[in-house]
């Protein structure tokens, strides 16, 4: 008869600490690599870390603070939270946490909640408009305060989910880039967690016991499409471990000549005669009528 051997509490605690250490090491290594690969942070940068109160942004700030201590360059970190005036928002949590941590921070107050409630019809998801208003507020503050980089807490799984959302519902082959210049050219947005798995971030946040503020204060429902994509990827990963990582790596190995975008790649010029005139789509159809 087999007997289960139960490890003593001290040994179990050692194992837990060992696993937590491995997760922390993976995250720091992944963030460091992403910063290096995309030249996210440079000497003299003032990096605004957008802190929502969720596990991802807490982890982002925590890892960046740890890396800053050992970084070969000098840069500043400023944590910024946008208080959107949702009912029952626990205003004390982030200031108390950041003060205890000794991190420079700013709480930006703007009542975007009322705007979203007024504009979005009852029963419709609020996330899209809420996100645009939040981004506008943060960009404005960054421009007024000498911010050179805006750091967001999106991770690898967010990026892959966005890829499929754009494919399935927007007919576009795009995701979230690890580094982005805003449409007006005024801001550089970075995602240092781009190489990090959500599973690792969840475990890290639990181990660090961050004071999580849930994103359900405005009563908005989950983004149903994103939730469906997340479930699809979860099922894939369970059946075929490593598939999500392979999808992410495919974003780093793009061959435009093997896709079908005539703007991104000059298919029309392949094999064409240098002096031959090109017909527009309308002219070609007129020359080659169906039937």
Q: What is the pTM of this model?
A: 0.84
- Say whether pLDDT at 214 is over 50: yes
At 288, list the tokens: 């080659």
Query: Does residue 157 have a pLDDT over 90?
Result: yes
> Across residues 266-280, what is the average pLDDT?
78
Residue 25 tokens read as 């090491």
| Domain count within the chain | 1
Is the alpha carbon torsion for 124, 127, 130, 135 positive or negative?
A: negative
Would residue 85 count as lying in a domain? yes
Q: What's the pLDDT at 206? A: 94
Given a contact cutoff of 8 angstroms between Cβ atoms, the answer to whether 159 and 194 are in contact is: yes
pLDDT over 60 at 217, yes or no: no
Residue 151 lies in a domain: yes
Element of type H or E holding 142: helix 127-144
- Pick from 155-164, 263-272, 280-289 the range whose average pLDDT is largest: 155-164
Please give the pLDDT value at position 86: 77
Q: Tens of pLDDT along 53-65?
A: 999 999 999 999 9
The pair of structure tokens assigned to 223 is 């983004």
| Percentage with pLDDT > 90 across the chain | 62
- Please report which confidence band the pLDDT of residue 136 belongs to, taking 50, 70 and 90 as the band edges: confident
- Is residue 242 a part of any domain in this protein? yes
Kindly report, residue by residue over 188-198, the tens digit of the pLDDT. Answer: 999 999 999 99
Calpha distance 16→5 (Å, rounded): 17
- In three-state form (DSSP H/G/I as H, E/B as E, the rest C), the secondary structure along 230-281 is HHHHHHHHHHCCCHHHHHHHHCCCCCHHHCCCCCCCCCCCCCCCCCCCCCCH
Structural domain contains residue 279: no
| For range 15-33, the mean pLDDT | 88
Residue 286 domain-assigned? no
Strands (E), the chain: 46-50, 76-83, 105-109, 149-151, 179-181, 188-190
> For 87-112, what is each residue's pLDDT tens digit?
778 889 999 999 999 999 999 887 76
In a domain, 65, yes or no: yes
State residue 48 phi and psi, 5-degree precision. -90, 115
- The contacts of residue 249 (CB under 8 Å, 6+ apart) are none
Q: Is the dihedral of CA 149, 151, 156, 161 positive or negative?
A: negative
Does the residue 157 lie in any domain?
yes
Distance CA 253, CA 235 (A): 24
31, pLDDT greater than 70 = yes
**Parallel, antiparallel or unpaired: strands 76-83 and 105-109:** parallel
Summary count for the chain: helices (H), strands (E): 10, 6
- The CA distance from 24 to 17, in Å, is 10
pLDDT of residue 221: 47
pLDDT tier at 226, thresholds 50, 70, 90: confident
**What would the mean pLDDT of 47-54 be, rounded to a whole number?**
95
Which residues does 275 contact at the CB level (< 8 Å), separation at least 6? none
Note whether residue 4 is domain-resident: no
pLDDT at 18 over 90: no
φ, ψ of residue 151 in degrees (nearest 5): -100, 125
Task: Flag whether pLDDT at 166 surpasses 90.
Answer: yes
> Which CATH number is 244's domain given?
3.40.50.620
Q: Which two tokens stand for residue 92?
A: 């004390």
* Range of the structural domain that residue 107 is part of: 14-258
Given pLDDT bands bounded at 50, 70 and 90, which one contains residue 4? low
pLDDT in the model for residue 184: 84
Q: What burial class does residue 35 get, using C-beta atoms within 10 Å of its C-beta: 0-12 exposed, 13-18 middle, 19+ buried?
A: buried
Q: 9 pLDDT exceeds 70?
A: no
Q: What is the mean pLDDT of the chain?
A: 86
Distance CA 120, CA 126 (A): 6
Cα distances (angstroms) measured from residue 55 to each of 28, 120, 154: 16, 27, 11
């Amino acid at each position: 008869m087999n007997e289960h051997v139960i490890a003593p509490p001290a040994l179990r605690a050692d194992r837990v600490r060992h696993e937590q250490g491995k997760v922390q090491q993976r995250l720091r290594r992944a963030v460091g690599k992403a910063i290096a690969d995309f030249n996210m942070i440079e000497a003299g940068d003032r990096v605004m870390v957008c802190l929502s109160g969720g596990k991802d942004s807490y982890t982002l700030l925590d890892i960046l603070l740890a890396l800053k201590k050992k970084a070969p360059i000098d840069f500043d970190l400023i944590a910024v939270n946008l208080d959107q005036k949702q009912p029952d928002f626990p205003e004390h949590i982030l200031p108390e946490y950041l003060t205890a941590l000794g991190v420079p921070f700013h709480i930006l107050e703007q009542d975007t909640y009322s705007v979203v409630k007024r504009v979005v019809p009852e029963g419709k998801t609020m996330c899209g408009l809420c996100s645009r208003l939040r981004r506008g507020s943060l960009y404005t503050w960054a421009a007024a305060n000498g911010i050179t980089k805006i750091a967001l807490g999106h991770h690898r799984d967010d990026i892959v989910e966005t890829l499929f959302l754009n494919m399935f519902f927007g007919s576009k082959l795009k995701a979230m880039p690890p580094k982005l210049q805003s449409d007006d050219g005024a801001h550089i947005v970075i995602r240092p967690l781009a190489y990090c798995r959500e599973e690792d971030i969840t475990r890290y946040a639990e181990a660090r016991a961050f004071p999580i503020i849930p994103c359900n204060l405005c009563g908005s429902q989950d983004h149903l499409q994103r939730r469906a994509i997340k479930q699809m990827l979860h099922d894939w990963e369970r059946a075929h471990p490593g598939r999500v990582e392979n999808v992410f790596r495919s974003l780093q190995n793009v061959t435009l000549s093997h896709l079908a975008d005539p703007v991104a790649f000059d298919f029309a010029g392949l094999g064409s005669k240098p002096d031959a005139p090109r017909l527009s789509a309308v002219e070609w159809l007129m020359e080659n009528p169906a039937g």
